[in-house]
A and B are shown apart, each in its own frame.
Chain A
Amino acid sequence: ETGVTQSPTHLIKTRGQQVTLRCSSQSGHNTVSWYQQALGQGPQFIFQYYREEENGRGNFPPRFSGLQFPNYSSELNVNALELDDSALYLCASSLRASQETQYFGPGTRLLVL
């Protein structure tokens, strides 16, 4: 059984740029959730995708967008990067049908300069 993977592990961007982060869900999982974890804080929910549709969104502006593909992998896109977007971005997958636990990937550390 393959766990949740994320790429890249680290990324440095400048203000105003755009970034795409990727996540491969755990085998058999059809739901992917994205979280932003600022330094010294707990993760904050960005949005969730279930069977390629957005299924819930946290308090994040529209410049945070996402996709889920037929194989249930997912992308998080952030446009017009701001300094405060610097954080660890975590992806978690789950099998929604059974309301099972979310399993997390190792995260992508984004630094915006």
Chain B
Amino acid sequence: AQTVTQSQPEMSVQEAETVTLSCTYDTSESDYYLFWYKQPPSRQMILVIRQEAYKQQNATENRFSVNFQKAAKSFSLKISDSQLGDAAMYFCAYRSGTGANNLFFGTGTRLTVIP
């Protein structure tokens, strides 16, 4: 079974600064997708960014970008110019490229943004 590991239970960042959240995963598949979801106190899981494994180029969405290292099975999220609204739990997730498209989640990283 695929496993996703987030080794940082908590992180903090000063407003306007940059922070990187770590994620590693274990799989024997070559075709898969990786995601970062944000879960604020409102509980709703919100998609932040998505990466297809076959793409070498790192995904970016405005202030959010990833560092995808396929050989190392690493998928970190960089948040630039951090804002107070970025404070939330962040979950890294894996989905196989074949079969059922269920997600495997890590245990999450709680991000605090300091004004």
Contact = CB atoms under 8 A, between A and B. Distances in A.
Interface stretch (A12-20, A42-50, A75-83): A42-50
Contacts of A55: 100
A45 B100 CA distance: 11
Interface in A89-110: 90, 92, 94, 96, 99, 101-107, 109
Given A88-B43, A90-B45, A107-B43, A99 B101 contact: yes
Given A42-B91, A42-B107, A42-B108, A102 B101 contact: yes
Contact of B100 (A41, A44, A56, A88): A56
Interface residues of B, number: 24
- Chain A, interface size category, equals 20 to 34
A103 B13 CA distance: 27
Contacts, number: 57
Contacts of A8: none
A31 B106 CA distance: 23
A41 to B, nearest CB: 6
A109 B44 CA distance: 12
Interface of B: 4, 33, 35, 37, 42-47, 50, 91, 93, 97, 99-108
Interface of A: 31, 33, 35, 40-45, 48, 55-56, 58, 88, 90, 92, 94, 96, 99, 101-107, 109
